[in-house]
Structure formats: C-alpha cells, structure tokens
Structure 1
Amino acid sequence: MCAYVLVAEDDIKQAAIIGRYLEHEGHVPRLVHDGRAALDEIRRRPPDLLVLDVMMPVVDGLEVCRILRRESDLPVLMLTARSTEEDLLLGLGLGADDYLTKPYSPRELMARIRGLLRRAERSSPASRSPVLRAGGVTVHPLRREVLVDGRQVDCTAGEFEILAVLAAEPERVFTRQQLLGVTRGTHHYVTERTVDVHVLNLRKKIEPDPRRPVHLLTVYGVGYKLAAAGPGAGGEDRRAY
C-alpha cells in the first residue's frame, strides 16, 4: 500500500534519511521538525501514520501524543533515545502504538512502519463478525468503532485490537502473552506490561469506575477477559491491575 506518512523529527538529517526510505517503499513522506508543526500538519491533512520523535522543540513528542489522542486514533510510532522500560510504558500510556529506541536500523524502522500500516488497513482478527457485543460494549471491526452503552469511545490501534479480540469471545480468558501477540505480532522488544498499559487505558475509556471494572476484568494470575454481561453478573475477579 502507498501511505502518507508524517515524520516529526528535529534532526534534519535523520528526518531526511527516514523520508528517503519511505519513498523507496512507495510511500509519500512529509517532514516537520517540531511538535507544533506536526499538530498543524495533522489537522490540515491527516496522515496514515505518524513517526514521532520524543525530543523536539516547541512541543515535545509526548505532549504531541497526549494532544493527538484527544482528537484522533492515528497510528503513532514513537522514536526516542530513552530506552528504559518506564519511558517505553510512558509513551504507550499516552497512546503510542509502537516505540523504537535510538540508535535503530532503518530496516527495523521500515518493518515497524509496515506492521502498523497493515494493522491500520486490515480488520481485526475478529472481523468475521460484523458486530461484536459483550455486555454494554459494542465493537464494529469493519468500521473500527467502539461503543459503550451507546457512547462512542476513541481507541488507539493497539487498544482496539485487544478489545476486538476479547469481544469476539466474551468470558474467554486471554493471557498477556496472547494479547501481546495481537498488538505486536512477533516483535519481542516490548514486555507483557505493555498489555497492562493498554488495559489501564481501555478501562479509563470504557468503565464507569476504572478502579472497579465491570467490563474488562482481570483473572488473577492468568490474564484478562471481557464480561459477557454488564454490571452485577458476579463471580469474576474484578481487581484492577
């Protein structure tokens, strides 16, 4: 597929290298060098994917991601020189769909971009069903839309994939490793804590009280499931981890 990819990177040489690789793969890149320019460009012409450096002038990448997630579910690949797990989880917690630390190989970057574009293009693994329902949660895989008690909820690509898989089989318990495979394929850099971050973000969006979830439930020592019925079904371990 040919995609329009916005690259927000304050290192002009690095941005140009990324742009050349994108062009070589048949994509159309647009390069900007600060966070404010990135937000302006996204609002002017929404791209298919955003490659976002964390350390940028005017508005940094983390703030760009925070603002963007209030407005869009645009796939975001975050680039950073910070390599600790806490930094990774912070980026994912703000809604980034993937995270690559510097220095990185351009080939790995392109592989990540291809993966995100495929995920954005295809329906979820549960897309054989036109509408998935579990309690008050409704997932439209083909439209990539989530409703909770009739209220539309915006989800990132990773959050949507997890929710769609859970909604396809309500009450089935999925391990963190299984859900990690849904959101990251065969990539092993991130840990199972990545899934926990996505779950925490989803609970903020779909639960009446994220501290006492009634939809997206923890099965202690195993993983997560989506309740088939709404509040009051009873019997589940509803501790929010």
Structure 2
Amino acid sequence: MSAKKLLLIDDDLELTELLKEYLTPQGYELDVAHDGEAGLSLATSHKHYDLILLDVMLPKLDGFEVLKKLRTSHLTPVLMLTAKGDDYDKIFGLEMGADDYLAKPFNHRELSARIKALVRRMALLPSSSVQQNLKLGNVELSPPAQQVFCANNLVELTATEYSILHLLMINHGSLVSKQNISEKVLGKKLAAFDRSIDMHVSNLRKKLAAFSPEEKIKTHRGAGYLYLVST
C-alpha cells in the first residue's frame, strides 16, 4: 500500500518538524510549506495530496485566501487548524469549503484520528464504482465518477459535501441525525455546539439551489436532516 500524501501549510517551524516526526512513522508522506503562497503552489501542482492541513494565520496569504483560491480548481480535503475558541475562524473556514477543523493547541492523537478519518473516507469512495447512479427528482449522483448533477448541470461539491448528499439520498424520506452524519462522514462523534455539519449542509443547499429552486434538504431542528423526494 502506497503512503498517503499530506500537505502541511503552517509557519510554525517547530510544530511542522514535530508533526513530520510524528506522522511519518504512521505511513504518511508529508510535504511542508511555511507560507500561504508556497502552500498554494504545492496544493495546486500536479502532485496528488490525500489531505491538506492548513493553518489560518500564515504570511503572504492567510489560510482563508489559500482555501478560497484552492477551491476554484481543487476539491482536495482540507483540515483547517484554527485558534482555540475562535468560532469565527471555524465557521468561516467551513463556509469556504474546509472539510473539518481542529483548534490549536491540539493533541497529536486527536490530529492523527482526524487525518485517518478523512483519508479513510476518501479511500473508500472509489469502491463505490460498482454502484449504479442514484437519481431523485432532478438530482443525479454518480458514484463511479463521484459527480453530482442537478437539472443536468454539474454541481462542484467538496468531498465532504458529496458524502453528506450521498448519505441523505440513500436514506431519502428518512431522518438522518447529525450524529450519524458526523460519525459516517467526518469520522468523529458530534461535539456540543459543533456547527460543522450545519455549515456543510448549508453550502450543499446553496450549490443545489443555484440550479433548482426546489427545497431538497429539510432541517429538523435539533434532530437532523431529511432528503425530500419530488413528486
């Protein structure tokens, strides 16, 4: 099995060295960039990365600018590293297309668990190639190509948004709890006051609404989400 390739974009030299020493023995190949411009250049190069670890506070280009530019061309999963307790950074990062976030200072074991969950989820997506397309109303999800079409238009989704939509569609007509989504898509238990699932679903709604005005995902406050089937 080939090593999973990670890109770490962080200007903390000591932290990046520690993480390289910690993650390499776990089977990861880690590239490091110490400013936003260098990080973006690597992230958008021809080299494939399974996951990008992106700090918010960076010289030259901050993490949000890097993420915004990255998402115009790449859907590589991104784990944002934010300041502890800074909810604005977390929410803004998720709105811009980050897949998950982790507050600094963090426990290395927790970081490893988050990385494993995101990388494992991505590794499982190709196995869906044996599945047939799933079509509900004017939304069609193609597991072999990992693409989504709405009213015959290609919808550019991040890996997390795609996984959430897939989970909701295969359970159409049934309520899917936030806890279920968090565990199956993000690979973690839903923490109190964690709004990451809400933000991903909000982004998903906006992208589908750009091609179809019909409500497709209904919120059951405090419980979860329901994918509506058009009649």
Structure 2 length normalisation: TM-score? 0.88
- Higher percent of residues as helix: 2
Equivalent of residue 115 in structure 1, options 114, 117, 121: 117
Q: Secondary structure at the match of 2:125?
A: coil
In structure 1, the residue matched to 2:174 is: 172
Q: 2:9 is matched by which residue type in structure 1?
A: A
Shift in alpha-carbon separation, 1:110–1:8, aligned structure 2, 3 A: same
Contiguous gaps of at least 5 residues in structure 2:
none
> How far is 1:24 from its partner?
1.0
Distance 1:213 1:195 in 2: 21
Distance 2:156 2:14 in 1: 35
> How far is 1:82 from its partner?
3.7
Distance 2:69 2:192 in 1: 24
In structure 1, the residue matched to 2:20 is: 19
In structure 1, the residue matched to 2:155 is: 153
In structure 2, the residue matched to 1:10 is: 11
Q: Contact 1:176/1:192 (CA < 8 Å) preserved in 2?
A: no
Residues 22-31 or 141-150, more deviating: 141-150
> How far is 1:140 from its partner?
1.9
Shift in alpha-carbon separation, 1:170–1:64, aligned structure 2, 3 A: same
> How far is 1:95 from its partner?
1.2
> How far is 1:222 from its partner?
4.3
Structure 1 length normalisation: TM-score? 0.85
Q: 2:226 is matched by which residue type in structure 1?
A: K
In structure 2, the residue matched to 1:64 is: 66
Q: Contact 2:151/2:211 (CA < 8 Å) preserved in 1?
A: no
Q: Secondary structure at the match of 2:44?
A: helix
In structure 2, the residue matched to 1:83 is: 85
Q: Contact 2:71/2:97 (CA < 8 Å) preserved in 1?
A: yes
> How far is 1:159 from its partner?
1.1
Q: 1:15 is matched by which residue type in structure 2?
A: T
Within 5 Å, which residues of 2 pair with 1:1-241?
2-44=3-45, 45-123=47-125, 129-189=131-191, 191=193, 193-208=195-210, 213-219=214-220, 222-229=223-230, 233=231
Q: Percent identity?
A: 35
Q: Residue by residue, what CA displacement relative to the aligned partner does 1:52-86 show, whole Å, maximum 9, x if unpaired? A: 11100011011111221221110111112242333
> How far is 1:51 from its partner?
0.6
Q: Contact 1:126/1:164 (CA < 8 Å) preserved in 2?
A: no
Shift in alpha-carbon separation, 1:203–1:111, aligned structure 2, 3 A: same
> How far is 1:163 from its partner?
0.1
In structure 2, the residue matched to 1:236 is: none
Contiguous gaps of at least 5 residues in structure 1:
234-241
